Amino acid sequence: MLCSLLLLLLVCSTQATHFYGTVMTYYPKTPHTNGSIEVVLRYKLNFLSCDDSDSWTCFLGDCGTQSVELHKVEESSGEWCQREGVMTRQVPSNAPFYLELSGGNWINDVVNDISSWEALTLVELRNRSDTNEANRSPQTTILPALRVPSNCQRDFNLLAFDPDGDKVKCRYGNTSQSECNPCTPPSVLKLSPSCTLSFSPTDSSDEGPYVVQLVLEDIPQQNIILTHTNGSKELKTSNDPISKLPLQFVLRVDGMVPFCTEGLYLPKFLPPTPANRARLNTPVNQTIHIPISAEANTSKYVKK
């Protein structure tokens, strides 16, 4: 049995107060003969401190019963704490349902003026006519904060892969659909539907932290039919999203640096670091070693 492992390599780092965003993906199990199905939802919860926490609740539909485990993933010199949650839900049928995370507050002094957090996942488990299996969500992950000097052009290629072969579309959240509260996008970023965030050099008055609240959707390459446990069917065309996931984090626009060349002020990845978005295959239960190396000749940076 092989599982794929996706690598996210983005130049990044952090600091500051409370919520640092979240991301969620899901993995369905084979349905039971009585129609009930188990789904494993994996999420990241990012806060300033590991003492802070929040839990996902049922927003709409029958979310079934749940069991949750939280593991600490990474803590970087007390700047933030990222934890991974593994939530197993048993639902009575493959009917779609929504999970929500909501509370307050994001970190302080957010330039695009977001204080409350809200994130929404649409879990779609109906049987797909192309795979004969429950729909699987896109796969993605993110660090709590990304950084960029205000005078440097940077493209952030976000991780967006779909195990069913669907197109993955990235868009900003929509406030009236409760995808964030509110969803005001950062003025300093341009988002392409293929999940690249582009930052262009900007004025030093734009420096500071921005909250980025994205939604990822899987869209079939051609028409498919979703079949409910009770036999009812729904057509999804190549314009229709199937599931949706939140991808929320902080972008820090730092002070100017004298040079934008990678390897001087901005770190540069060195061989044998695998490429961003690389897919590595490994047998289940076998430890995988991933060598990562980077340099920045001038380790000092100008910070606001």
d(CA 57, CA 62) in angstroms, rounded, equals 11
Q: Does 257 bind ligand NAG (CB under 6 A)?
A: no
Closer to ligand NAG by Cβ: residue 62 or 75: 62
**Span of 15-23, 30-38, 46-54, 190-198 interacting with ligand NAG by CB under 6 A:** 30-38
Single out the residue of 17, 66, 102, 174 in contact with ligand NAG (rule: CB under 6 A): 174
* Least distance in angstroms from the C-beta of 75 to ligand NAG: 25
* Least distance in angstroms from the C-beta of 230 to ligand NAG: 4
* Least distance in angstroms from the C-beta of 192 to ligand NAG: 16
Residue nearest ligand NAG by beta-carbon distance: 263
| Beta carbons of 158 and 168 less than 8 angstroms apart | no
Q: Does 232 bind ligand NAG (CB under 6 A)?
A: yes
Closer to ligand NAG by Cβ: residue 16 or 259: 259
Closer to ligand NAG by Cβ: residue 208 or 267: 267
Single out the residue of 25, 46, 112, 127 in contact with ligand NAG (rule: CB under 6 A): 127
Per-residue buried b or exposed e for 3-33, using 16+ beta carbons within 10 Å of the residue's own CB:
eeeebebebbbbbbebbbbbbbbbbbeebee
Report 128-147 residues binding ligand NAG (CB under 6 A).
Answer: 132-134
Number of residues that this document lists for the chain: 304
* Least distance in angstroms from the C-beta of 241 to ligand NAG: 12
Q: Does 88 bind ligand NAG (CB under 6 A)?
A: no
- How many residues bind to ligand NAG according to rule CB under 6 A? 25
Sequence-distant (6+) residues with CB within 8 A of 302 are: 149, 254, 255, 256, 257
d(CA 120, CA 211) in angstroms, rounded, equals 16
**Span of 10-18, 125-133, 137-145, 272-280 interacting with ligand NAG by CB under 6 A:** 125-133
* Least distance in angstroms from the C-beta of 129 to ligand NAG: 8
Q: Does 222 bind ligand NAG (CB under 6 A)?
A: no
Q: Does 233 bind ligand NAG (CB under 6 A)?
A: no
Mapped onto helix, strand or coil, the DSSP state of residue 303 is coil
Closer to ligand NAG by Cβ: residue 260 or 302: 260
Q: What sign has the CA pseudo-torsion 170, 43, 18, 157?
A: negative
Cα dihedral 36/97/191/108 (nearest 10): -120
Distances (CA, A) of 246 to 12, 46, 214, 224, 235: 20, 13, 6, 24, 24
Q: Which residue in 220, 255, 259, 212 sits closest to 237, CA to CA?
A: 220
Mapped onto helix, strand or coil, the DSSP state of residue 16 is coil
Q: Does 53 bind ligand NAG (CB under 6 A)?
A: no
How many other CB atoms are there within 10 angstroms of residue 230's CB atom? 9
| Beta carbons of 70 and 46 less than 8 angstroms apart | no
* Least distance in angstroms from the C-beta of 8 to ligand NAG: 23
Closer to ligand NAG by Cβ: residue 77 or 300: 300
Where along the sequence are the contacts to ligand NAG (CB under 6 A)?
1, 30-32, 34, 36, 92, 95, 127, 132-134, 174, 176-177, 228, 230-232, 261, 263-264, 284-285, 297
